[in-house]
Amino acid sequence: MNHSRYRYHRMLLLLVVSVLLCIGAGCRQQDQKDVTLYSATSQSSQTGQETTQSNLPPAELVFYNYANPMPDQDKVMDEVNKYLKRKINATIRIITLNPTEFEAKIPAILASGQPADLVFTSSWTNNYLANVSRGAFLPLDHLLKQYGVGMQKSIPAILWKGMLVYNQTYAVPLNKEIGHQYGVLMRKDIVDKYHLKIDRIQTWEDLEPLLQIVHQHEPQLRPLDTPEMLYRSIPMNHISGDWYLPGAINIGESPAFKRDDHQVFNQYATPEFKHFVETMYRWNQAGYLPKDPMYEAEGDWKTGKIFAGALSYAPNYVYERSSQLGYDLDYVNIGQGVIETGDVQSGAFAIPRSSKQPERAMMFLELLYTDPYLANLLKHGIEGVHYIKVDDKHIEPAPGMDPLNPKYDYGYGWMWGNIFISYFDKSYPQDTYEQYEAFNSGNIPAPALGFNMNIAPVSTEVAAINNVLAEYYRPLINGTVDPEKVFPVFLQKLQIAGVETLIAEEQKQLDLWKAAQSSASSIQ
């Protein structure tokens, strides 16, 4: 994983996150209401047998979460609600929505004021900053002080700082890996069979000799699923917060883009991007990549028809993925781990303004983040039914449960709050928690960590640029079109769409943000 070469950045990481820029005038302040304190503080439970005496009236909560529904969800929710009745005299209706449903339904639910008590939010779906700007979420600071003491202690300070807007907190961040690293999963049997030197892989380009060997000797296998995550492994700081929009600055001590300045640039108009798409076209022509730019790989992974795949990686995911697929995988890290603003806001739970029970919603979150019984019930299901414990940290599927098609199991379970009180699959090593800590401290903070771009002044240009990207980005990245013919057209259409106006606005806002940081530092 090569974490040791990043360790010296640990102290820098803890210092660089600053208060976010104001993102609009639409954020309304909520008058703090009188709240009824419940009579006993809930304690973390390992078995779910303890009870909490309470004078709270009954309550029913509604929670919209970003997660695929499971076949045994109703059975698990019955157990969840039995437990919540004992702990906080509440029941909860958790509506899990797959990515397509979530993105289609949640904006309308929040805009309509439909009753909802909790909702998933992030930098990449149901956008946190945009919702705060619209006044869709309640400020949580007073609720956290009364009902979220355990969460405040267990979640790293860098995450709480990342959620601040107008110096207030509007969501509780997920406690998981911080930042992003990319790497490649490979079938271990093929690696061993041909004695492939995966320890020599440092960048995406180093994969080519391996793909060539596999294509030559194992023609029934697809050498690589899709190459987009290889492109993502090229470290850069995305200024807009949208990883597709043009506008980046270099990052790290060995910049990926050969430039003599520190200005915002269009990453698509660089020799480095051109080299990448030219290489992907050559790989596609050689048979290393799928011909369909919209190819979905999961079915081929399950049937063992793929040799390698690039991905955004969390520590030890190779073990879980191996368990899911039923065959062993190797993993190698490529590129450099980075923390951008969007990583800090990569997942959180907010209380919508339409909530009728914000106090009880915060009590539920406190349990979710501090109570191992509830956390593992929601992540892995019912002990003895869906899983059995191997030791105090690890589990395996219960007898009769198919790990490839579980009736209830969210695996790593990042979408359920706090991974540090969760069980892991038995394939995970004993030091998994420590590896997460090393991962988090090893990623390098981006130069503009804490900066939030206000897209409003260039919304027309952004819409036009997104249309161009929708037409050209995926075919170029996947190598399904000839860049000699298509790449110049792509750049020309970006120019017409207003890419230079976007870059200029990004530079302007970034300069103002830097000046504000310098001013704040001088005052301190």
Q: Which domains are present in the chain?
A: 44-177+344-442 (3.40.190.10), 180-338 (3.40.190.10)
Q: In this predicted model, what pLDDT tens digit does every residue of 125-137 receive, in sequence order?
A: 998 988 998 899 9
Provide φ and ψ at 124, rounded to 5°: -120, -10
Angle at 148 between CA 145 and CA 154, to 5 degrees: 115
Q: pLDDT at position 432, please?
A: 87
Q: What is the secondary structure of 82-108 as a DSSP string?
A: HHHHHHHSEEEEEEEE-HHHHHHHHHH
CB neighbour burial string for 363-399, b if at least 16 within 10 angstroms, e if fewer: bbbbbbbbbbbbbbbbbbbbbebbbeeeeebbbbbbe
Q: In this predicted model, what pLDDT tens digit does every residue of 158-194 receive, in sequence order?
A: 889 888 887 899 999 999 989 999 999 999 999 999 9
For residues 317 and 181, the answer to whether their CB atoms sit within 8 Å is no
Q: Which amino acid type is present at position 366?
A: E
Q: pLDDT at position 196, please?
A: 97
Task: Say which residues have a Cβ less than 8 Å from residue 305's Cβ, sequence separation at least 6.
Answer: 220, 221, 222
Q: pLDDT at position 40, please?
A: 31
Q: pLDDT at position 165, please?
A: 83
Q: Reduced to 3 states, what is the DSSP secondary structure of residue 217?
A: helix
Q: How far is CA 170 from CA 3, 362, 417, 424, 438, in A?
A: 32, 12, 16, 30, 28
Provide φ and ψ at 146, rounded to 5°: -90, -35
* Integer Cα distance of 154 and 139 in angstroms: 20
Q: In this predicted model, what pLDDT tens digit does every residue of 459-515 receive, in sequence order?
A: 999 999 999 999 999 999 999 999 999 999 999 999 999 999 999 999 999 999 999
Provide φ and ψ at 478, rounded to 5°: -85, 0
Q: Enumerate residue ranges in the chain where pLDDT < 50.
A: 1-44, 49-51, 53
Q: How far is CA 420 from CA 175, 371, 432, 493, in A?
A: 7, 11, 9, 47
Q: Reduced to 3 states, what is the DSSP secondary structure of residue 138?
A: coil
* Integer Cα distance of 288 and 524 in angstroms: 55
Helix (H) or strand (E) holding 440: helix 432-442
